[in-house]
Amino acid sequence: MIKMKRLVVLVALLCVCDAVKFGQLCSGNSGNSRRTSDTWGSGNYGARRTNGRHEGLDIRCSDGSAVYAPFDVTLHGKLIVYNNPAKAAIDQGINLRGGGLCIKLFYVRPDRTSGSVRKGERIGTMLPMQSVYPGITSHVHVQMCDKSDPTPYF
Ligand SMILES: [Zn+2]
């Protein structure tokens, strides 16, 4: 019985370790390296913001880069990030489901907004973040639909 419990724990751990991991999200960033700290803030989940906390994780992505499907995904429509005319240049994103996850990607202009896309295939273009936040580390903001921490999936 004890051995059985160990097995269950082991399997559970394996499931966590082997849990879905994001594939490359952005052209030019094969390791999904993250935005750390810049003059505009930090890209970590939970980082302090003017109003509350950062609800996603920021993955570096140069303006104009191709953005790729991080899993085999289905596309679930475009999203509006700010609904703020002053930020219109980057006020788009896309809703995805894949790898058992429901995900929002901010600052991406989607190529299309429905259907299925295989992991690694292009889904859109990184919007011109420098035009709104000069000097920021340009990035795709990855947010789980339930606002949980996406970090373990990287
Ligand atoms: Zn962010």
Q: Which domains does the chain have, with CATH numbers?
A: 20-153 (2.70.70.10)
The Å distance, Cα 72 to ligand 1 centre, comes to: 23
pLDDT (tens digit per residue) in 16-62: 555 689 999 999 999 999 999 999 999 999 999 988 999 999 999 99
Three-state SS for 131? helix
Global confidence as pTM = 0.88
CA–centroid distance, 138 to ligand 1, in Å, is 10
In angstroms, the CA 80 to CA 91 distance is 6
Q: What spacing in Å lies between the alpha carbon of 57 and ligand 1's midpoint? A: 5
pLDDT at residue 3 greater than cutoff 90: no
Residue 2 has pLDDT above 60, yes or no: no
74 in Cβ contact with 96 (< 8 Å): yes
